[in-house]
Amino acid sequence: MSERDMSGNEPLDDFDAEILAALKAAHNELDPMPAHLDDLVLLAVDGSIVDAELARLVEDARAEARSGDRVRTLRFESELGALFVSVVEVRAGVVRIDGWLVPPVPATVRLRSAGAPDVEVEANDTGRFAVEEVRQGAAQLVVEFASGTMATLAVDL
Amino acid sequence: MSGAAATSPSERNARLAELLDRVRAGESGALEPIVRELNPLLWHVARSQGLSAHDAADVVQTTWLGLVRKADQIHTPAALTGWLVSVTKREAWHYAKRAARQEPTEDVGVDAVAADPELDAGLLADERAVSLMRGFRQLTERCQELLKAVAMADRPDYAAISEALGMPHGSIGPTRGRCLAKLRALLLTDPLWSRT
The predicted pLDDT at position A4 comes to 58
- Nearest to B118, CA basis, from B141, B129, B134, B140: B134
Q: What is the mean pLDDT of chain B?
A: 81
In a domain, B8, yes or no: yes
Q: What is the ipTM of this complex?
A: 0.85
- Would the CB atoms of B60 and A41 count as touching at under 8 Å? yes
- Nearest to A20, CA basis, from B97, B71, B41: B41
**Per-residue three-class SS string for A36-49:** CHHHHHHHHHHCCC
Examine the domain organization and report whether B104 and B187 are in the same domain. Answer: no
- Would the CB atoms of B151 and A20 count as touching at under 8 Å? yes
- Would the CB atoms of B62 and A15 count as touching at under 8 Å? no
- Would the CB atoms of A30 and B136 count as touching at under 8 Å? no
In a domain, B76, yes or no: yes
Q: φ, ψ for residue B69 (rounded to 5)?
A: -75, -30
For the stretch A4-60, pLDDT in tens is: 567 777 888 999 999 999 999 999 999 999 989 999 999 988 876 767 888 999 888
For the stretch A58-115, pLDDT in tens is: 888 888 877 777 899 999 999 999 999 999 999 999 999 999 999 999 999 999 998 8
Examine the domain organization and report whether B49 and B104 are in the same domain. Answer: yes
- Residue A22 sits at the chain B interface (C-beta within 8 Å): yes
The predicted pLDDT at position B112 comes to 43
Of all helices (H) and strands (E), which one includes residue A28?
Answer: helix A14-30
How many Cα neighbours within 13 Å face the side chain of A94?
A: 6
Examine the domain organization and report whether B108 and B118 are in the same domain. Answer: no
Residues 6+ apart with CB under 8 A from B79: B160
**Other Cβ atoms closer than 10 A to A16:** 24
Q: How many domains does chain B have?
A: 2
CB nearest A23 (choices: B31, B136, B171): B136
Q: What angle do CA B162, B164, B170 make, to 5 degrees?
A: 45
Helix (H, G, I), strand (E, B) or coil at A69: coil
Q: Give A33 to chain B, closest Cα distance, Å.
A: 6
Chain B hits for A78, CB-CB cut-off 8 Å, are none
Examine the domain organization and report whether B108 and B126 are in the same domain. Answer: no
Domain carrying residue B72: 1-112
Examine the domain organization and report whether B71 and B123 are in the same domain. Answer: no
In a domain, B161, yes or no: no
- Would the CB atoms of B68 and A48 count as touching at under 8 Å? yes
Examine the domain organization and report whether B69 and B137 are in the same domain. Answer: no
Q: Which residue of B has its CA nearest to A22?
A: B129
For the stretch B64-103, pLDDT in tens is: 999 988 887 887 777 888 899 999 999 999 988 877 776 5
What domains are defined for chain A?
Answer: 37-156 (2.60.40.10)
For the stretch B94-124, pLDDT in tens is: 988 877 776 554 444 333 444 566 667 677 7
- CATH code of the domain containing B30: 1.10.1740.10
Does B44 have pLDDT greater than 90? Answer: yes
